[in-house]
Structure 1
């Protein structure tokens, strides 16, 4: 029979998995307490949170939640970063902190129910944020509307110029 503390911890891991859209696994060895606090603060602002659980408990919780296994990621000193909705925002915070401190390493994770490698997580971090994508789409739509207005206006003004030239030729 497992100890009650491990059962309670397993429930916490399961609750974190249920409440999140996905997770990234990072190697955080070498971070000071201050650097860890800075990383956690940045993650909170991005709608994510970082937790350090026993790797075996995370494996069991993933199995209970019928999520894919990420056993190769869960080796050694790792932390799980659970994100609420935007994986790119959480991955950007980790990547920026990693560049700044040169101590954090992506191991992999789960996004949209699929296992992702460390390289794929880095690619996710390079994606524009949701707000930037919406702004780009709005700009494209606005550009198309402007182009259509210019074309429609050009046809009517061209027709008006043609009629004026014809009337001037007939008057002459």
Structure 2
């Protein structure tokens, strides 16, 4: 890779980090190509990405972003997971780390807030943005259906009373 390609890669990664809402750093030493491909596939399905690059280039790309504090975690064979959804990347990374002991989460960051492995784990336990939207829609719809039920109840009771009187008389 020549200098111009490296500069282009650093610029591209810098743009990705500026747009990402969360970044997670993990060691992947000992994983096979098939395992890495499976991880990348899971990340794509969740709307996140996993990138492996030279640590020096990643450090340069992190400069000038909110995630500059992660530079000291880039030692050895590490990969960087990132996503727009603050829960997507941590959730996939933590699930993969549970299933594969060769994959170890080092830390991460959400904006300017640096996270240790426990912080990443707690972030992964939160519901995703789509799940929260679904719950919110359910909460908004619930009162409307309850109001409709309450408004229909007196009319139904009145109809049953009139029907009973008609049968008696």
Which TM-score applies when normalising by structure 1? Answer: 0.75
After superposition, the Cα gap between the structure-2 partners of 1:143 and 1:64, relative to the gap in structure 1 and judged at 3 Å, is: closer
Instruction: Give 1:35 deviation, angstroms.
Output: 0.2
**How many residues were matched structurally?**
161
Contact kept, 8 Å, 1:26 with 1:104, in 2: the verdict is: yes
Matches within 5 A, 1:17-166: 17-65=17-65, 67-83=67-83, 85-154=84-153
Could you tell me which runs of 5 or more consecutive residues in structure 2 were left unpaired when the two chains were aligned. Answer: none
After superposition, the Cα gap between the structure-2 partners of 1:16 and 1:139, relative to the gap in structure 1 and judged at 3 Å, is: closer
Query: 1:83-128 deviations in whole A, cap 9, x for unaligned?
Result: 1x21312222222222222222222222234222221111121111
Deviates more, 1:149-158 or 1:103-112: 149-158
Query: Secondary structure, in 3 states, of the residue corresponding to 1:49?
Result: strand
Query: Secondary structure, in 3 states, of the residue corresponding to 2:143?
Result: helix
Instruction: Give 1:142 deviation, angstroms.
Output: 2.3
Deviates more, 1:141-150 or 1:122-131: 141-150
Q: What is the distance in 1 between the residues matched to 2:126 and 2:11?
A: 33
Contact kept, 8 Å, 2:23 with 2:67, in 1: the verdict is: no
Could you tell me which runs of 5 or more consecutive residues in structure 1 were left unpaired when the two chains were aligned. Answer: none
Query: Secondary structure, in 3 states, of the residue corresponding to 2:63?
Result: helix
Q: What is the distance in 2 between the residues matched to 1:4 and 1:154?
A: 73
CA root-mean-square deviation:
2.9
